[in-house]
Amino acid sequence: MSAVRGADDGVDAVVVGAGFAGLYMLYKLRELGLSARGYEAGSGVGGTWYWNRYPGARCDSESVYYSYSFSEELQQEWEWSERYASQPEILHYLEHVADRFDLRRDIRFDTRVVAATFDEGGSCWSVRTDTGVQVRARFLISAVGCLSTPNVPALPGVENFRGPVLHTGRWPHEPVEVTSCRVGVLGTGSSGVQSIPLLAEQAEHLTVFQRTPNYSVPARNAPSDPVQSADVKANYDAIRERCRRSLGGFPFDVDPRSALSVSPEEREALYRGLWDEGGMRFVFGGFADVLTDRTANDVAADFVRARIGEVVREGATAEVLTPRDHPFGTRRPALDTRYYETYNRDDVTLVDLHRTPVEEVTAGGLRTSDTEYPLDVLVLATGFDAMTGSLLAMNIVGRDGVELRKKWSDGPRNHLGLMSAGFPNLFTITGPLSPSVFSNMPTCIEQHVDWIGDCLEHLRRNGHDLIEPTVEAEDGWVEHAARVAARTLLGAVDSWWTGANVPGKPRVVYPYVAGVGTYRKACDAAAARGYDGFVLNPSAPVRRRPQGAPA
Ligand code: N01
């Protein structure tokens, strides 16, 4: 691999983002002896865990699994204080990783990549930042995260609101004092479900504006048990390996049976056990056909609905909170601590936006079709332009001046969720059509970084400068991912997984949903066959073969 020709300030690789993915990618590049520059829009490392500082922000994966495995010393020395780490603790962990491996010296903070253009003559990427820096790099590696561009709905009149309007994904760094405030929360996805119980405790009055009720499962958070932690550490190799081969990136899997093949008593007992364990064990540990068969799904959905009815004392409120319009698990279920219990408080009001939609934000509150609710603070827990928002915002232009945004105007097109034809040497860590958000993220991040690292090493060993998928391989992967998704109940449901939460966004199932283990096999097989589906050092642009032409 030769150095970038004619670069003023050239590096081998630019890595965009300094969260879980970016940090490990920088570590890997250094291990390979490649020069790298990281660009990060935030003032510090952490990515998601840097930005999402809202009350109650906490990981939905158990910390012992939601962590790096690449360093044995790191995983042995780090102690998590709770079953699910809070945002400050995960941020502290990532800061520790950055310091322990001396990664900050390669990162430029407060710097956003605003343009990246492939230079065919120089066979490299020309990357521009909002600080006016222009850098050339052989490889461009996106580690921008899947949930980093806030989705801010166009609420009529919001500019007239007298108090602060806070998006959960851009929460202020200084504490937000709400003790004598009337707080409104718009949105009941994971961010809403996590913040609502805490805001209810702090605020004078909390009004929750709910459009779609979500299924929420008790997290059952608790202080870490030192005996269990020691046991995990003693068995980390086997546990991590199980995560890598699993469906969801956790060391447990679905029950292989159909929910409909066992008696109602047995079904109830299985779900009761998983419910008591809490968290992702309920989400990923149920029957195999929960996401593929509506009747089987009803078993899980009815189980959760019954729990809501048991907790929420007021029947009408319980009914508004009960999801009936989508199957369980077809929108990302939330994990909670005393979420449904919060609605038993006298100082919490639930507004059903399906019945009474938002009409406008006023100077002093939010008006629905039947009432104006007085508010001092408005919290938008309205989610993200997921999976492609931050990637496309970089204005990436590949061969022949083709914009990635245009190429993907009907949905993402790539091979293995990793690379897109016409965009040589651009890698997308946890990009669309890879398992990413449909799994425990660090498991998939490490798999992608390792795959990219092996690929770069392969290029170097074999004297190649460029790699790019063939159009045929890409078409095959896009079709395959869609076929897998079509076997599930996911595609028919409006969610951020299907892009339905952002007006005008193409409607596809964005994550690859065949499972982490299956996906890993496909990536490994391509690499083992000499990067099957990719062209190394394409001397000319990789173009679509005319129909019927020989392969
Ligand atoms: O966002 P969401 P999120 N008027 O898109 C509502 C991850 N995460 O930030 O469904 C009224 O899920 C919208 O209503 P509807 C996790 O993967 C992880 O909560 O469109 N309401 C919905 O209720 C999660 O899934 C963790 O009808 C409007 C809500 O806003 C993902 O991030 C913690 C509206 C958005 O829910 C996103 O979760 C938090 C409008 N105009 C998040 N627009 C952890 O692991 C939107 N809504 C810790």
Q: Strand pairing of 113-119 and 124-129?
A: antiparallel
Q: Which amino acid is at 354?
A: H
Distance CA 31, CA 22 (A): 14
**What tens digit of pLDDT does each residue of 193-236 get?**
999 999 999 999 999 999 999 999 999 999 999 999 999 999 99
In a domain, 291, yes or no: yes
CA distance 177 to 191: 19
Tell how far the Cα of 190 is from the centroid of ligand 1, in angstroms.
6
Examine the domain organization and report whether 353 and 213 are in the same domain: yes
The CB of 367 under 6 Å from ligand 1? The reply is: no
Kindly report, residue by residue over 263-294, the tens digit of the pLDDT.
Answer: 999 999 999 999 999 999 999 889 999 999 99
Q: Assess whether the C-beta atom of 440 lies below 6 angstroms from ligand 1.
A: no
Quick one: 322 and 197 in the same domain? yes
E strand residue ranges, 270-394 = 334-336, 348-352, 358-362, 365-368, 372-374, 377-380
Distance from the CA of 328 to the center of ligand 1, in angstroms? Answer: 16
How far is 531 from 479, CA to CA, in rounded Å? 19
Between CA 239 and CA 233 the distance in angstroms is: 9
Let me know if residue 162 belongs to a domain: no
Q: Ligand 1 center to residue 486 CA distance, Å?
A: 23
* Poorest-pLDDT segment among 67-81, 100-114, 271-285, 382-396: 271-285
Question: Are residues 337 and 410 both part of a single domain?
Answer: no
Could you tell me if 439 and 525 lie in one domain?
yes
The residue range of the domain holding 58 is 11-149+386-538
Q: Which residues contact 295 (CB under 8 A, 6 or more apart)?
A: 259, 260
pLDDT in tens, 338-378: 999 999 999 999 999 999 999 999 999 999 999 999 999 99
- Of 380, 411, 436, the domain-final residue: 380
Question: Is residue 328 in some structural domain?
Answer: yes
In the structure encoding, which two tokens stand for residue 304, read together? 């959760």
CB of 383 within 8 A of CB of 496? yes
212 lines ligand 1 (CB under 6 A): yes
* Phi-psi domain of 433 (left: phi exceeds 0; alpha: psi -120 through 50; beta: other): left
Q: Is residue 103, in this structure, part of any structural domain at all?
A: yes
- For residues 110 and 443, give the distance between their C-alpha atoms in angstroms, rounded to a whole number: 28
The count of structural domains within the chain is 2
Please count the other Cβ atoms lying within 10 Å of the Cβ belonging to residue 306: 12
Predicted pLDDT of residue 284: 87
Identify the domain boundary among 318, 345, 380. 380
Six-digit token pair at 387?
A: 């999976």
355 and 466, same domain (yes or no)? no
Q: What is the DSSP letter of 13?
A: E
Query: How do beta strands 124-129 and 134-142 pair?
Result: antiparallel
551: confidence class by pLDDT, cuts 50, 70, 90? very low
Q: Which two tokens stand for residue 354?
A: 């399906």
Q: What is the CATH number of the domain that holds 31?
A: 3.50.50.60
Q: Contact at 8 Å (CB) between 48 and 193?
A: no
Residues 317, 177: one domain?
yes
pTM, two decimals, is 0.95
Q: Answer yes or no: are the C-beta atoms of 240 and 71 closer than 8 Å.
A: no
> Do residues 423 and 493 share a domain?
yes
Locate the ligand 1 atom nearest the alpha carbon of residue 191 and give its number. Answer: 19
The tokens for 180 are 């004598």
**487 and 532 part of one domain:** yes
Question: Is the predicted pLDDT of residue 542 greater than 90, yes or no?
Answer: no
- Chain-centre distance for alpha carbon 205: 31
In a domain, 160, yes or no: no
Q: Measure the CA–CA gap between 422 and 405, rounded to whole angstroms.
A: 13
* CB-ligand 1 contact for 322 (6 Å cutoff): no
Indicate if 375 and 235 belong to the same structural domain. Answer: yes
The answer to whether 253 and 246 are in contact (CB under 8 A) is yes
**Treating both helix axes as pointing N-terminal to C-terminal, what angle do 516-528 and 236-245 enclose, rounded to 10 degrees?**
90
Is 343 contained in some domain?
yes
The 10 Å Cβ neighbour count of residue 547 is 5
183 near 376, Cβ under 8 Å? Answer: yes
Instruction: Say yes or no: 22 and 134 in one domain.
Output: yes
**Is 304 found in the same domain as 175?**
yes
In a domain, 179, yes or no: yes
- The predicted pLDDT at position 134 comes to 96
What number of CA atoms fall less than 13 Å from residue 411's CA on the CB side?
A: 19
Helices (H) and strands (E) in the chain, counts: 17, 20
424 lines ligand 1 (CB under 6 A): no
Final residue before a domain boundary, out of 318, 351, 380: 380
Closest C-alpha residue for ligand 1 atom 48: 59
Based on the domain organization, do 217 and 354 belong to the same domain? Answer: yes
Domain assignment present for residue 156? The answer is no
